[in-house]
Amino acid sequence: MLHLAFHLFVLLYITNMFASVALVASLVKSKAFPVNDTINNAASRDINTKVDISPELVQAVTAELKKEIDAASTTGSQTTIVDEDASILLQSRVKNAIQYLLATSSKDSQVRLVDANHAVDYVAYGLSDIVFVYPGFASGHLGQELPSWAASSVRNANGELVKVVEMETRAGALQAVQGALADSNNKNLSVLASSQALLSMIPNLHALAADRQPVVFHVAAQSIDQDLVASANVEAVLAARNTGAILLSSSNAQEAHDIAVVAHLLARSVGLPVIHFFNGVTASKVIEKVSLTSYTQLANLSTFTISPANTSYTESYQVAKNILAQFNYKPFEYTGAADAETVLVTLSASTASVDQAVSRAASYLNASVGILSVRAFRPWSEADFIAALPKSTRRIVVLEEGAGLYAFNGPLYLDIAASIRFGPIARDQRPRLVSAQATDFSHIHATHIPSLVKEAEHETFINLAAEPFTVSVSDETLALEKSDAAWSAIFWDVE
């Protein structure tokens, strides 16, 4: 029964595999996967990497690729010709791509195509005895699949049955969690909710932290407005920054899985509530290749958890740093030019689109800029934040998401300002601080980065929801950026 949870997990997401033909098609075109020898050698080293691929899946992806080739052809004298030999070669490349996507990198993990919601569900269920789900939305919410797992008597990583409780989102809803803690000694509890639901839990979070209850909160930062438009609602999570809970952030499905594991281990180690949050609009919708830690390995990891020994809230930062290091993460992670004078700083939950824009700007526009991702927002370490900055930093642009303007006083900006003012930086070497804000950063493009850097030289506030950052990008620019990762062919009729 110990592995039943994983097998059920696989069955539930078989359809996701077919929904991801575009992902595989993109991989085939980019050629970003090992050749046959690499795959075969990996399989010979570890029998767990063997993947059975149905002909239907190969045919579905091949058809998708052919469809894209047809779409690239224009009317008139242009026709697309794919002969039998080319079709066989294409199917072979498709199969190799799928093998790469599903190849297991370790005997302690299984690779699947899932989104952040599914990855977090898997970890939360495996490391919990009781799970409270606060839907917030009719469908597509965090924890949606867990009631069916519990109804099927799927067991967690320790071989125990899991109780899944669906709750309504309202004021005082977290009292049910407090009641369960009082009635269930030494039980591992987790809460799955949206950032909207978390707002109503803040008073109870103070009580959980004061009582040193190691409850783990997995939060999809997402809200729905009156027009039923979904948007990332990160500021609602930051409203819990002074509750005494530890705040960790992730940006994609793989990070969501890994940081979810870290959150559970950390909560048990320091005896404090931990809030793990990610972008509920992007990360929870994008299907990616994720290496899921097996329930056997999760059980092994949980046995090495350090028992709480009156660890203070401030001291919990070092514990978090050590556990993150075990998974190759840091509280503050810098990427970009080593000699960058302008550094963008944002939470990991808001990093994905900005990171891609910065990377493309560096590749195609020779922009010398870096991005510092904040993974551990609470507790905050001014020393580690400053140490993560390049020595060449002259300007720090703090990117903050919010429904309204913070007037320079966003939570992340305030922490950074205090670190610069009181941290170990000489007065004449303190970088200039700039606040840049928008509802979200999904519209930020590589071509916007040079403008952002230029404005940061003389502005103290940048509205990313105004021009030139809202100007649409031309197809020619997009084609230029993608030119190294795509191929196309046109076959002409000769009559």
The structure tokens listed for 471 are 């100007």
Check residues 486 and 290 and name the one with the higher pLDDT. Answer: 290
The structure tokens listed for 424 are 């170990």
- The pairing of strands 230-231 and 246-250 is unpaired
**Is the pLDDT reported for residue 135 higher than 80?**
yes
Distance separating alpha carbons of residues 40 and 365, to the nearest angstrom? 39
Distance separating alpha carbons of residues 212 and 484, to the nearest angstrom? 52
Interval 115-131: pLDDT, tens:
899 999 999 999 999 99
Q: pLDDT grade, residue 184 (50/70/90)?
A: confident
Rounded alpha-carbon distances, angstroms, from residue 333 to 120, 324, 351, 377:
22, 11, 11, 12
Q: What is the torsion angle, in degrees rounded to the nearest 10, for the CA atoms of residue 381, residue 387, residue 389 and residue 391?
A: 150
Q: pLDDT grade, residue 251 (50/70/90)?
A: very high
User: What's the burial of 494, exposed, middle or buried (CB within 10 Å: 0-12/13-18/19+)?
Assistant: exposed
Q: pLDDT grade, residue 254 (50/70/90)?
A: very high
Distance separating alpha carbons of residues 438 and 469, to the nearest angstrom? 10
**Is the pLDDT reported for residue 435 higher than 50?**
yes
The structure tokens listed for 60 are 């579905």
Q: Which helix (H) or strand (E) holds 281?
A: none
The structure tokens listed for 224 are 């729905």
Distance separating alpha carbons of residues 461 and 107, to the nearest angstrom? 50
Is the CB of residue 182 less than 8 Å from the CB of residue 213? no
> What was the pLDDT predicted at 18?
42
**Is the pLDDT reported for residue 93 higher than 80?**
no
- The pairing of strands 216-221 and 163-166 is unpaired
Supply angle C-alpha 250, 296, 99, rounded to 5: 70
> DSSP code of 155?
B
Place of tokens 């002409």: 492
**Is the pLDDT reported for residue 83 higher than 90?**
no
The structure tokens listed for 369 are 């800029």
Task: Give the Cβ contact number of residue 65 at 10 Å.
Answer: 21
The structure tokens listed for 9 are 């997990």
> What was the pLDDT predicted at 495?
45
Strand runs labelled E in 36-123: 78-79, 109-114
> What was the pLDDT predicted at 47?
32
Coil, helix or strand at residue 428: helix
Q: pLDDT grade, residue 482 (50/70/90)?
A: low
Distance separating alpha carbons of residues 212 and 114, to the nearest angstrom? 33
Check residues 168 and 214 and name the one with the higher pLDDT. Answer: 214
- Nearest CA to 127 among 192, 45, 36, 48? 192
Lowest mean pLDDT among 4-18, 313-327, 402-416, 429-443: 4-18
Binning the chain into helix, strand and coil, the percentages to the nearest 5 are 45, 20, 40
Interval 364-392: pLDDT, tens:
888 889 999 999 999 999 999 999 999 99
> What was the pLDDT predicted at 280?
82
Largest separation between any pair of C-alpha atoms in the chain? 84
Rounded alpha-carbon distances, angstroms, from residue 491 to 48, 181, 282, 441:
42, 68, 37, 40
Q: Which residues contact 488 (CB under 8 A, 6 or more apart)?
A: 69, 72
Q: How far apart are the first and last CA of the chain?
A: 66
Is the CB of residue 395 less than 8 Å from the CB of residue 435? no
Computed on alpha carbons and rounded to an integer, the radius of gyration of the chain in Å comes to 24
Percent of the chain beyond pLDDT 70?
69
Is the CB of residue 392 less than 8 Å from the CB of residue 336? no
Distance separating alpha carbons of residues 252 and 242, to the nearest angstrom? 26
**Is the pLDDT reported for residue 8 higher than 50?**
no
Is the CB of residue 93 less than 8 Å from the CB of residue 30? no
Place of tokens 């597509």: 140
Distance separating alpha carbons of residues 242 and 248, to the nearest angstrom? 14
Q: Round the average pLDDT of the chain to a whole number and report it.
A: 79
> What was the pLDDT predicted at 228?
65
Which of 21-25, 320-324, 483-487 reaches the highest mean pLDDT?
Answer: 320-324
Phi-psi region of 143 (alpha: psi -120 to 50; beta: other; left: phi over 0): left
- The string of DSSP codes covering 206-252 is HHHHHTT---EEEEEE-EE-TT--EE--HHHHHTTTTSS-EEEEE-S
Check residues 44 and 387 and name the one with the higher pLDDT. Answer: 387
Check residues 250 and 222 and name the one with the higher pLDDT. Answer: 250
